[in-house]
Amino acid sequence: MEGLLLDNDFAEEEDKPYVRLFLKRDGETIAALDPNFETYLYVVADHPNRVLKMVGKVEVHGLRPKSVELVNRTFLGKKVEAIKVAFNRPSDMPDLRHAIRDLPGVKEMYEFDIPPARRYLIDRCLTPMSGISIKGKTIDQDGMKIVVLDEPPVPAKVPEQELKIMSFDIEVYNPAGSPRPDKDPIIMVSLADNRGLKKVITWKDFKTGQDFVEVVKDEKELLERFVEMVKERDADILMGYNTDLFDFPYIRERARRLKVKLKLGRDGSEVLARKKRFATASRIRGRVHIDVYTMVNFLATIGHIRLIHYNLEEVYKYMLGKDKPDFEFTEFVDAWERGGERARDLLEYSLSDAQATLEIGLELLPLFFELTHIVRQSPFDVSRMTPGQLVEWLLISEAHNVGELVPARPVGEEFEERLDETYVGAYVMEPVKGLHEDLVVFDYRSLYPSIIVTHNIDPSTLNCDCCKPSQVVTVPEFGYKFCTNRRGLIPSTLEKIIQERVRLKGEMKKYKPGSREYRQLDAQQWALKITANSFYGMLGYPRARWYFKQCAESVTSFGRHYIKNTINMAKDFGFDVVYSDTDSLFTKLNGKGRDSAMRFLKQVNDSLPGIIELELEGFYQRGVFITKKRYAMIDDEDRIVVKGLEFVRRDWAAIAKKTQEAVLKAVLRDGSPKEAAEIVRKTTKDIVGGRVSLEDLIIYTQLTMAIENYRAIGPHVVAAKKLRAKGVEIEPGMIIAYIEAKGTGSISERAVPVEDFKGVEYDPDYYVENQVLPAVMRIMEVLGYKDEDLRYEKAKQVKLAEFVDDSKI
């Protein structure tokens, strides 16, 4: 039997452990159970034979190793004789491992920290989201085939399988600002899927006549109906936006209180909370829960999406180019209580959330499925990995295939020591501050990967004893040398990734952009690019298994060498370099025409070794450069890219956010700092003149602990105390909305809760000096303005005319 491998997990039933594989075939789901899998670790010891005998006799609470054997492996390229210790079940490992560690002669232990389901995929060479072939006894159970395997599964080609992809979203009653899962009910669940489903389930009948609305009796029934719908639509993939952090934890708590069993699993199991660092990822057996936000966030951290905010609305607008209806969360309660037109809007909004999540998810899934193929771990795990983890799991798999032992994750002292090790990073040029027009941006195509491959950078090749000094390239500034005879695990794995990408790029030329084949190949090459670009980061990440400081610093050293050379070449060519960061170069064309950029590119590339190559990133009409890492540019399509200015958050008043946004637009779209300055002056004038609506002055800050526990009494704490004094119940998690009032004393003392603000005067000074000006000054000061030029003060405006001649810009 063959099918697409969707997911795998590890489970134990009546003390019998097994690995389970979920397969899809022609719309049918198959669960394949494999009781035959290995759980093991490696021991490296001074006298392997003597230690082997001792390990074989270890016993803890009646548990003993299943088997011990001597095997030949390598560690960081060097041959080692290792003791492979196998266990009867994964749960036997922790106690026995500690007992083995304490045996005399034991030097190191490896691969004890690889979870069974992942170990299984690696050892069996299976790739999720690909075909596999299985053999075994079949039992039918509730529409799902269960196969008990009597042979190991093997990779196989299967025709493309259509997956049922569903998204959902919840709306929650939130009278306290932040919803409290112990009190506030879920009022709506919206659903959408790739087969046309559009539904909102709610438990108040607003009689809006919207055909997608289904009314149930109460919240309990709403949750039951949600579970029923997921089963009915038979979702293979269940998506949401920020569901790991919000929706699932909330649903779980409500379900617990209402005594609803969240049996979303294909085997009838409940949603599992898998602890993952600070968050909890929810796992559904047999279905893949994908949090679209984690995918978006991943792309944001690697710089493939750059937005000011990564909320659903903005991400949807950026990725799909469409607007979705907005609904302020502060208005939920009112809409729910009063019904009518607002309830109608809320239902519409709820559906649009599920729909937008579905559309974004459908855009991103192909990429993450390709990452799954590369890394060879489940899409559930891969969609939640950091770039460093992607590389790590790929290397673990590659290491296994070549008999290389996997370094353990660093813990305790080893990790702490790494934190103290620092090394010089990339070269970042101090920008030529101010507004620049007619820009061309160049960047090195995968600079760090190219360096790693070209110079064979790997812990096993560092300062080898087999090469003559004259044969090897020396790392600039350090004098390290890397072997030229044998390939290291890291460069050889990376080289395969890069070569495959080159092949796919060639393949893509055979197809029309936009065609199915083209898009598939594009996702593949993109996933390879992301993976390749993550190798360097991993080398320098203290938590990584393959962390090697000398390798990481060699990469950056070579990087600085290449980019500085390029800057000098650009200057010689006649371009003004306004900024450079790591592998990129921002230059002014100086009226030379865009074709000159191509000539420069060729000149540089002719001078570069190996696979290191400079590329043209794009042309920009205008850009404002503020400091290192802080700039904004606008391209030919009027798209604004902003870097490093993202400090507009909810604990800033709306007036500050709005003014900053308007200033950037004026500067970039219209090229007019004068107009921007006018916007700021008008705003400060409005603030001083009391013409700003209170709405725009509210600052929202969350109470993160009980009010008594605060040692630092910030404004929101004072405002919360004032609320409590008049009988409002105050608890952690509440968002306190306050306004700064005019008067004497610290900012904290003058914080007044919004609901008490009637008849009070706000503090114009605070809003000008601590809100609006800080938000816009970073931009304005590089354009030649001083803060006194931007405050509303008639005398200063006259002075401004002398100080800045904006007419020239």
Q: Which long-range contacts (CB under 8 A, 24 or more apart) does 672-679 make?
A: 672/806, 672/809, 673/435, 673/780, 673/783, 673/784, 673/785, 673/804, 673/806, 673/809, 674/806, 674/807, 674/809, 676/776, 676/779, 676/780, 676/783, 677/780, 677/783, 677/785, 677/789, 677/790, 677/800, 677/806
Task: Draw the binding track, 245-264, toward DNA (x: CB under 7 A; -: no contact).
Answer: xxx-----------------
Q: Tell whether residue 276 is a contact of DNA (CB under 7 A).
A: yes
Residue 151 or 314: the one with the smaller Cβ distance to DNA is 314
Produce one character per residue of 5-26: b if its CB has 16 or more CB atoms within 10 Å, e if not.
bbbbbbeeeeeebbbbbbbbbe
- Cα(298)–Cα(291) distance, rounded to whole angstroms? 11
CB within 8 Å of 359: residues ≥ 6 apart = 316, 319, 320
Q: Tell whether residue 170 is a contact of DNA (CB under 7 A).
A: yes
Task: Draw the binding track, 107-146, toward DNA (x: CB under 7 A; -: no contact).
Answer: ------x-xxxx----------------------------
Q: Tell whether residue 420 is a contact of DNA (CB under 7 A).
A: no
Site size for DNA (CB under 7 A)? 67
DSSP designation for 792: S
- Cα(559)–Cα(423) distance, rounded to whole angstroms? 13
Q: What are phi and psi of 495, to 5 degrees?
A: -65, -40
Least distance (Å) between residue 191 CB and DNA? 13
Beta bridge partners of 276: 279
Q: What are phi and psi of 692, to 5 degrees?
A: -95, 135
Residue 597 or 718: the one with the smaller Cβ distance to DNA is 718
Produce one character per residue of 50-88: b if its CB has 16 or more CB atoms within 10 Å, e if not.
ebbebbeebeeeebebeebeeeebbbbbeebebbbbebb
Residue 66 or 306: the one with the smaller Cβ distance to DNA is 306
Out of 164, 261, 543, 721, the only residue in the binding site for DNA (CB under 7 A) is 543
**CB-CB contact of 161 with 4 (8 Å):** yes
Q: Tell whether residue 748 is a contact of DNA (CB under 7 A).
A: yes
- Cα(157)–Cα(720) distance, rounded to whole angstroms? 62
Tokens representing 31 are: 């669960």
- Cα(735)–Cα(414) distance, rounded to whole angstroms? 41
In this chain, which stretch among 64-72, 426-434, 447-455, 698-706 interacts with DNA, using CB under 7 A? 698-706
Out of 37, 203, 293, 586, the only residue in the binding site for DNA (CB under 7 A) is 293
Task: Draw the binding track, 633-652, toward DNA (x: CB under 7 A; -: no contact).
Answer: -----------x--x-xxx-
Least distance (Å) between residue 468 CB and DNA? 40
Residue 274 or 564: the one with the smaller Cβ distance to DNA is 274
**CB-CB contact of 100 with 43 (8 Å):** yes
- Cα(350)–Cα(191) distance, rounded to whole angstroms? 9
- Cα(241)–Cα(366) distance, rounded to whole angstroms? 17
Q: Tell whether residue 401 is a contact of DNA (CB under 7 A).
A: no
Residue corresponding to tokens 């300055």: 677
Q: Where are the alpha helices (DSSP H) in 259-386?
A: 292-301, 312-320, 332-338, 340-375, 379-382
Least distance (Å) between residue 715 CB and DNA? 6
Give one DSSP letter per residue of 540-565, joined into a string.
Answer: T-TT-TT--HHHHHHHHHHHHHHHHH
SS3 125: coil
Q: Tell whether residue 303 is a contact of DNA (CB under 7 A).
A: no
Out of 713, 728, 798, 801, the only residue in the binding site for DNA (CB under 7 A) is 713
Q: Tell whether residue 313 is a contact of DNA (CB under 7 A).
A: yes
Q: Tell whether residue 329 is a contact of DNA (CB under 7 A).
A: yes
In this chain, which stretch among 78-86, 528-536, 593-601, 694-702 interacts with DNA, using CB under 7 A? 694-702
Q: Tell whether residue 658 is a contact of DNA (CB under 7 A).
A: no
Beta bridge partners of 71: 82
Q: Tell whether residue 221 is a contact of DNA (CB under 7 A).
A: no
- Cα(87)–Cα(94) distance, rounded to whole angstroms? 10
Residue 566 or 771: the one with the smaller Cβ distance to DNA is 771
Least distance (Å) between residue 240 CB and DNA? 8
Q: Tell whether residue 269 is a contact of DNA (CB under 7 A).
A: no
Residue 65 or 387: the one with the smaller Cβ distance to DNA is 387
Least distance (Å) between residue 717 CB and DNA? 7
Q: Tell whether residue 716 is a contact of DNA (CB under 7 A).
A: yes
Residue 610 or 644: the one with the smaller Cβ distance to DNA is 644
Tokens representing 116 are: 């069974």
Out of 56, 90, 325, 366, the only residue in the binding site for DNA (CB under 7 A) is 90
Out of 735, 741, 760, 809, the only residue in the binding site for DNA (CB under 7 A) is 735
The edge-to-edge listing of strands for the beta sheet with 584-588 is 576-581, 584-588, 434-445, 613-627, 630-635, 640-643
Q: Tell whether residue 174 is a contact of DNA (CB under 7 A).
A: yes
Out of 7, 111, 171, 359, the only residue in the binding site for DNA (CB under 7 A) is 171
Three-state DSSP string of 441-464: EEEEECHHHHHHHHCCCCCCCECC
> Which helix (H) or strand (E) is 625 found in, with range?
strand 613-627
Least distance (Å) between residue 434 CB and DNA? 20
Q: Tell whether residue 631 is a contact of DNA (CB under 7 A).
A: no
Out of 35, 162, 401, 415, the only residue in the binding site for DNA (CB under 7 A) is 415
Residue 361 or 488: the one with the smaller Cβ distance to DNA is 361
Residue 74 or 702: the one with the smaller Cβ distance to DNA is 702
Out of 518, 526, 619, 710, the only residue in the binding site for DNA (CB under 7 A) is 710
Q: Tell whether residue 571 is a contact of DNA (CB under 7 A).
A: no
Q: Tell whether residue 706 is a contact of DNA (CB under 7 A).
A: no
Q: Tell whether residue 770 is a contact of DNA (CB under 7 A).
A: yes
Q: Tell whether residue 411 is a contact of DNA (CB under 7 A).
A: yes
Residue 57 or 309: the one with the smaller Cβ distance to DNA is 309
- Cα(481)–Cα(670) distance, rounded to whole angstroms? 52
Least distance (Å) between residue 712 CB and DNA? 4
Out of 88, 178, 520, 603, the only residue in the binding site for DNA (CB under 7 A) is 178
In this chain, which stretch among 45-53, 197-205, 243-251, 685-693 interacts with DNA, using CB under 7 A? 243-251
Q: Tell whether residue 89 is a contact of DNA (CB under 7 A).
A: no
Tokens representing 144 are: 């799902």
Residue corresponding to tokens 């936006």: 241
Least distance (Å) between residue 350 CB and DNA? 7
Residues that bind DNA (CB under 7 A): 9-10, 90, 113, 115-118, 169-172, 174, 177-179, 241-242, 245-247, 274-278, 293, 309-313, 329, 332, 353, 381, 409, 411-412, 415, 543, 644, 647, 649-651, 700-705, 709-717, 735, 746-748, 770, 774
